[in-house]
Amino acid sequence: NDGPTLFGVKPLSRVGLNLSFNFHSGTPYTRVDPSWGSEGVFGIQHPMPLEPYNSSSLPWFYQLDGKLEKGFSIGPVNVDAYLWVINVLNSKCVTNGYRATGRPDDDGWLSTNQGKDWAKQYGPDGVKWFRAIMTYCGSWGWQAPRQIRGGLKFEF
């Protein structure tokens, strides 16, 4: 029963707002020669590092999440209505990257002689499709976009 009274009702009673801000400095990685091409998970040969172990790092990551709740009672049942927003700022941070470039949308292979020859053969459309497939159509290595969820929680 906290808060002001408006038309005989306390609208801020049983209201909650939670914010969570997560951030971290870039994840370290070791750059490798892009001539090895796209990296496989279980490769037999491992690319030669171009620098000391974990000398490079991905960019900083940050995300703000928020949840607004309002509780009320319907007879003997307590109900919580909530709105939960993940990635409120809709930030688009890098979460993973290829070791040759540190980017999720470029493994560096197209900058090699073999990659340049391939790009000439297949043209701009081929390069576009190569990049789309390499990043699983744009979702790999990037932070998930803003998500808005709502719901009701019943307590008997």
0.85 exceeded by pTM: no
Q: Cβ contacts of residue 60 below 8 Å, gap of 6+?
A: 23, 24, 25, 26, 93
Say whether pLDDT at 57 is over 60: yes
Q: What is the pLDDT of residue 39?
A: 52
Q: What is the pLDDT of residue 87?
A: 97
Q: Residue 67: pLDDT band by 50, 70, 90 thresholds?
A: very high
Residue with token string 């939960």: 84
Say whether pLDDT at 40 is over 60: no
CA 82 – CA 69 distance, rounded (Å):
4
CA 65 – CA 87 distance, rounded (Å):
5
Q: What is the pLDDT of residue 41?
A: 46
CB 17 within 8 A of CB 3: no
